[in-house]
């Protein structure tokens, strides 16, 4: 989290470029923002503002900042409140610094410096890095030697960029655990948390590796590794587009992204399936650098919404390919000493490809000899670069913090992967695989029907009843249970109303106690083999005064409709792939409720799009 950017430019001011970069990085955090440049006398001057970037923009408009060297930051608070004092850049002597991540040994380092009489201006761990570097410079070290001394003293996952007073052609940059990319321009140099922020400035990018730090000058970058040795890191021409994504005619990015799902699922599937126009359709995934026949187990690691994609993927892979699958939250997997069998795979699912826990879980798998794989949306992200086998999703940039199209494209990619594995392992005949793939390609049309039908209008009406509720229960069975959990997550994160997703069969083992007169209960219940059982759960809810909101398909609406106060109906699709279609109404319900409550839909409080801290 936190977005960082730096620029050494030639015949223009750095601040407008830095601000534009911060706009692209705002998805990483929006608690405060700031910019520092080296002005006329070569000393860093800074401008900071609490809250969103708009506040910083007002100040920059009022008094533009001068200077050809600069750094910028957008913050997701970890140490100290989200006020102007704790906003980056931080200054220490000649140093201005911006930082992403956490210095885990901040306390002893701060105490060590305090004992020497150093005083601090902020509560941040960032200032500790700057003060350590300053101490080394005071002891007579060169900037390079100061970095070489300070880097090994810092524990945690972080990236930072520094400017030095009087050094108009120098930037120090470091990466350990959170991303940082260097950008090489024509007599100019840049760095940023991601290639998206660099794309309008240059396409020539060097990705730092773990433990690397760099001395960046307009003429280029010198990179050192953890051991202090000079290393060559390859320069790549990034494919990331620099075009700023707009909202079009939609009110929010989330609304736009919900409406893009038919299209982006279509792109994702077209990239992964061959022969749709011919006799037999078959998967065309990137070459598998492993033998699918001998794959012993797949361990899926992911966080949040991506982990729900993994849970649905588990059902599909086990059913179609007969490989055991375990789906683990990456933050738990890392610390529970998992047993990973020989010939197994660790599969990371991530929109951003940068989520720290997911990246580290993948690395843990690699260290234990597992085949590493990723389902990733952002090309060139850390997971996309580190996994040996990558299935790309083609959701395009997802700007709304609440994930929508990334989730459904992850499902589409996992569906094709399940079919491909089934085919390769002989668990599916080519005809059966063809049938599954063809029914999968009907999903985009079903989603179009949902988005152009009565679901949105109905969800809007339901939302007006939900805004005053304190809790909403989401229930389902099988893959619909996972859709229920995703629905509850989406609902609470943008409406700030408590919501809980539960397996319908477990309701009577606890959550039923929550139900009283008027408690809303969203049932995700298509007509499938479990319908009869879900029906009795609905009756139990009704008997206690609960209000049923039913998310179902056409047949389910006929069967359960009379028990529900409200019905959000999707077209009947292959039951195997139904969770993709059933997700859309729960997204819309969350969106409409947030809208009715007037919350900040695209940038909900306390959240950030890319979680690069633990
Ligand atoms: C919820 C949401 C998060 C992300 C999670 C993983 O709407 O967006 O739960 O799914 O932070 O992010 P990625 O997929 O980037 O690893």
Q: Give tens-digit pLDDT for 439-497.
A: 999 999 999 999 999 999 999 999 999 999 999 999 999 999 999 999 999 999 999 99
The helix/strand/coil state of 27 is helix
- Indicate the pLDDT class of residue 245, thresholds 50, 70 and 90: confident
493 lines ligand 1 (CB under 6 A): yes
Q: Tell me how far apart the alpha carbons of residues 165 and 144 are, in angstroms, rounded to a whole number.
A: 15
Residue 583 near ligand 1, beta carbon < 6 Å = no
* Burial of residue 105 (number of CB atoms within 10 Å: 0-12, 13-18, 19+): middle
Q: Which residues pair with 524 in a beta bridge?
A: 476, 551
Q: Say whether 2 is catalytic.
A: yes
Residue 78 or 277, more confident: 277
Contacts of 28 (CB under 8 A, 6+ apart): 1, 2, 3, 74, 76, 100, 193, 608, 609, 610, 612
Higher pLDDT, 149 or 606: 149
- In this predicted structure, the answer to whether residue 78 has a pLDDT above a threshold of 90 is no
Listed residue (5, 6, 47, 4) closest to 169, CA to CA: 6
Q: How many whole angstroms from 503 Cα to the centroid of ligand 1?
A: 22
**Which residue minimizes the CA distance to atom 8 of ligand 1?**
403
CA of 219 to the centre of ligand 1 (A): 38
398 C-beta closer than 6 A to ligand 1: no
Alpha carbon dihedral 448, 450, 454, 458, in 10-degree steps, equals -140
pLDDT grade for 550, boundaries at 50, 70 and 90: very high
Q: Could you tell me whether strands 3-8 and 69-75 are parallel, antiparallel, or unpaired per DSSP bridges?
A: antiparallel
Distance CA 285, CA 522 (A): 36
CB atoms within 10 A of CB 250: 14
Model pLDDT, residue 288: 94
Note whether 522 and 589 are within 8 A (CB).
Answer: yes
Answer whether 178 contacts ligand 1 (Cβ < 6 A): no
Q: How confident is the model at residue 316 (pLDDT cuts 50, 70, 90)?
A: very high
Strand (E) positions, 364-431?
371-376, 389-392
Helix (H) or strand (E) segment spanning residue 570 = strand 566-570
* Candidate of 300, 351, 354, 377 to mutate for ligand 1, largest count of ligand atoms within 8 Å of Cβ: 351
Q: Which of 28, 300, 303 to mutate to test the pocket of ligand 1 (most atoms within 8 A of CB)?
A: 303
Q: Is 351's C-beta closer than 6 angstroms to any atom of ligand 1?
A: yes
Residues whose CB falls within 8 Å of the CB of residue 463, separated by 6 or more in sequence, listed in order: 589, 592, 593, 595, 596
Most informative mutation of 403, 489, 611 for ligand 1 (most atoms within 8 A of CB): 403
* 3-state secondary structure at position 191: strand
Categorize the per-residue pLDDT at 82 as very low, low, confident or very high, splitting at 50, 70 and 90. Answer: confident
State the Cα–Cα distance between residues 518 and 375, nearest whole angstrom. 41
C-alpha of residue 352 to centroid of ligand 1, in Å: 8
Q: Which helix (H) or strand (E) holds 586?
A: helix 578-597
φ/ψ of residue 69, rounded to 5: -120, 135
Short-list 339, 319, 316, 320, CA closest to 328: 339
Residue 415 Cα, ligand 1 centroid: separation in angstroms? 19
Alpha-carbon distance 50 to 87, whole Å?
7
Q: Residues 292-298: what's their mean pLDDT?
A: 97
86-134 pLDDT, tens digit each: 899 999 999 999 999 999 999 999 999 999 999 998 888 999 999 999 9
Opening angle at CA 72, ends 70 and 75, nearest 5: 165
419 lines ligand 1 (CB under 6 A): no
Which among 310, 302, 285 has a CA at the least distance from the CA of 353?
302
Domains of the chain with bracketed CATH:
3-237 (3.60.20.10), 250-441 (3.40.50.10490), 454-601 (3.40.50.10490)
Assigned token pair, 497: 């109303």
Angle at 594 between CA 591 and CA 600, to 5 degrees: 105
For residues 512 and 485, the answer to whether their CB atoms sit within 8 Å is no
Query: Ligand 1 within 6 A of 612 CB?
Result: no
For ligand 1, the distance from its centroid to the CA atom of residue 472, given in whole angstroms, is: 21
Neighbours of 237 (CB within 10 A): 8
| pLDDT of 277 | 86
Instruction: Return the pLDDT at 471.
Output: 96
What proportion of the chain, given as a percentage, has pLDDT over 70? 100
- What is the position in ligand 1's atom list of the atom closest to the CA of 302? 16
Ligand 1 contacts CB of residue 403 (under 6 A)? yes
Can you give the pLDDT at residue 548?
Answer: 97
Say how far apart CA 187 and CA 591 lie, in whole Å. Answer: 46
How far apart (Å, rounded) are the C-alpha atoms in residues 471 and 185? 53
| Residue in 394, 405, 490, 609 annotated catalytic | 609
DSSP bridge partners of 159: 100, 175
- How far, in Å, is the centroid of ligand 1 from the Cα of 377? 11
Q: Are 275 and 282 in contact (CB under 8 A)?
A: yes
Q: Which of 2, 162, 191, 327 is catalytic?
A: 2
137-186 pLDDT, tens digit per residue, is 999 999 999 999 999 999 998 999 999 999 999 999 999 988 899 999 99
Q: Is the CB of 305 under 6 A from ligand 1?
A: yes
CA 130 – ligand 1 centroid, Å: 31
Mean pLDDT computed over every residue of the chain: 94
Q: Would you say residue 380 has pLDDT above 90?
A: no
Q: Is the beta carbon of 157 within 6 A of some atom in ligand 1?
A: no
Count the neighbouring beta carbons within 10 Å of the beta carbon of residue 545: 11
Q: What is the arrangement of strands in the sheet containing 235-237, beginning at the earlier edge strand?
A: 44-50, 32-38, 69-75, 3-8, 189-192, 181-184, 204-207, 235-237
The residues with which 389 forms a beta bridge, in sequence order, are 373
Distance CA 96, CA 80 (A): 19
Judge whether residue 258 has pLDDT over 80. Answer: yes
pLDDT at 276 over 90: no
Q: What's the pLDDT at 532?
A: 83
At 254, the pLDDT band (50, 70, 90 cuts) reads very high
Judged against a pLDDT cut of 80, whether residue 609 lies above it is answered with: no
From the list 568, 397, 599, the residue with the least C-alpha distance to 490 is 599
**Which tokens sit at 355?**
């989520």
pLDDT value at residue 77: 81
pLDDT at 610 over 80: no
Res 133: pLDDT: 97
CB-count burial class (<10 Å; 0-12, 13-18, 19+) for 444: buried
Residue 52 known to be catalytic: no
Closest CA to 266 of 409, 53, 427, 123: 409
Which of these, 274, 267, 265, lies nearest to 434 by C-alpha position? 274
- Three-state DSSP at 48 gives strand
> Under a CB-based contact definition with an 8 Å cutoff, are residues 308 and 318 in contact?
no
Check: CB of residue 550 under 8 Å from CB of residue 504: no
Position in ligand 1 atom list of the atom nearest CA 304: 9
Buried-state track 331-357, b at ≥16 Cβ within 10 A, e below 16 = bebbeeebebeeebbbbbbbbbbbbbb
Pocket flag, ligand 1, residue 310 (CB < 6 Å): no
pTM over 0.85: yes
Which residue do the tokens 């069967």 mark?
559
pLDDT 10s digits, 325-335? 999 999 999 99
Cα 397 to ligand 1 centre (Å):
13
Q: Is 362 in the pocket of ligand 1 (CB under 6 A)?
A: no
pLDDT of residue 607: 83
Pick from 62, 67, 84: nearest CA to 75? 84
The answer to whether 261 and 408 have CB atoms below 8 angstroms apart is yes
Tokens of 155: 């524990």
């Amino acid at each position: 989290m936190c977005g960082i950017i730096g620029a050494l430019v030639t015949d223009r001011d750095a601040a407008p470029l830095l601000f534009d970069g911060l706009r692209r990085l705002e998805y990483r955090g929006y608690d405060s923002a700031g910019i520092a440049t080296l002005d006329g006398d070569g000393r860093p001057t800074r401008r900071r503002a609490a809250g969103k970037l708009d506040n910083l923009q007002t100040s920059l408009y009022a008094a533009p900042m001068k200077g050809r060297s600069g750094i910028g930051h957008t913050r997701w608070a970890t140490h100290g409140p989200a006020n102007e004092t704790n906003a980056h850049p931080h200054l220490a002597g000649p140093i201005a610094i911006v930082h992403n991540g956490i210095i885990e040994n901040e306390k002893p380092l701060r105490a060590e410096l305090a004992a020497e009489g150093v005083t601090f201006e902020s509560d941040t761990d960032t200032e500790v890095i700057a003060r350590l570097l300053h101490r080394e410079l005071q002891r007579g070290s060169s900037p390079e030697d100061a970095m070489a001394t300070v880097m090994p003293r810092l524990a945690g996952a972080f990236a930072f960029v520094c400017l030095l007073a009087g050094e108009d052609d120098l930037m120090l940059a470091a990466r350990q655990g959170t991303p940082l990319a260097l950008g090489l321009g024509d007599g100019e140099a840049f760095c940023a948390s991601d290639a998206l922020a660099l794309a309008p400035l240059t396409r020539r990018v060097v990705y730092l590796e773990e433990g690397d730090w760099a001395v960046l000058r307009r003429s280029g970058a010198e990179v050192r590794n953890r051991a202090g040795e000079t290393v060559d890191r390859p320069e790549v021409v990034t494919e990331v587009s620099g075009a700023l994504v707009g909202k079009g005619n939609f009110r929010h990015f989330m609304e736009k992204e919900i409406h893009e799902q038919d299209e982006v699922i279509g792109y994702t599937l077209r990239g992964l399936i061959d022969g749709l126009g011919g006799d037999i359709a078959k998967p065309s995934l990137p070459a598998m650098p492993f033998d699918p026949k001998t794959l012993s187990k797949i361990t899926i690691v992911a966080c949040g919404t991506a982990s729900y994609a993994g849970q649905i993927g588990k059902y599909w892979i086990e059913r179609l390919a007969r490989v055991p699958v375990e789906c683990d939250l990456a933050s738990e997997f890392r610390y529970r000493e998992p047993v990973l069998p020989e010939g197994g795979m660790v599969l990371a699912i991530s929109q951003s490809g940068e989520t720290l826990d997911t990246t580290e879980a993948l690395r843990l798998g690699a260290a234990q000899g597992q085949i590493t794989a990723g389902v990733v949306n952002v090309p060139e992200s850390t997971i996309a670069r580190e996994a040996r086998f990558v299935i790309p999703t083609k959701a395009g940039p997802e700007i709304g913090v609440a994930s929508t199209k990334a989730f459904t494209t992850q499902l589409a990619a996992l569906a094709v992967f399940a079919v491909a594995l089934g085919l390769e392992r002989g668990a599916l005949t080519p005809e059966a695989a063809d049938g599954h793939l063809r029914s999968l390609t009907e999903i985009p049309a079903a989603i179009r029907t949902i988005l152009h039908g009565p679901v949105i209008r109905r969800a809007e009406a339901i939302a007006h009843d939900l805004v005053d509720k304190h809790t909403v229960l989401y229930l389902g069975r099988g893959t619909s249970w996972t859709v229920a959990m995703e629905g509850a997550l989406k609902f609470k994160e943008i409406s700030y109303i408590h919501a809980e997703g539960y397996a319908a069969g477990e309701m009577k083992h606890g959550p039923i106690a929550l139900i009283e007169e008027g408690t809303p209960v969203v049932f995700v219940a298509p007509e499938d083999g479990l319908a009869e059982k879900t029906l009795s759960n609905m009756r139990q809810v009704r008997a206690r005064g609960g209000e049923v909101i039913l998310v179902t398909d056409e047949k389910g609406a006929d069967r359960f409709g009379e028990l529900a106060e409200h019905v959000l109906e999707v077209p009947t699709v292959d039951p195997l792939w139904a969770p993709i279609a059933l997700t859309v109404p729960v997204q819309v319900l969350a969106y409409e409720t947030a809208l009715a409550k007037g919350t900040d839909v695209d940038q909900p409080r306390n959240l950030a799009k890319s979680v690069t801290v633990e």
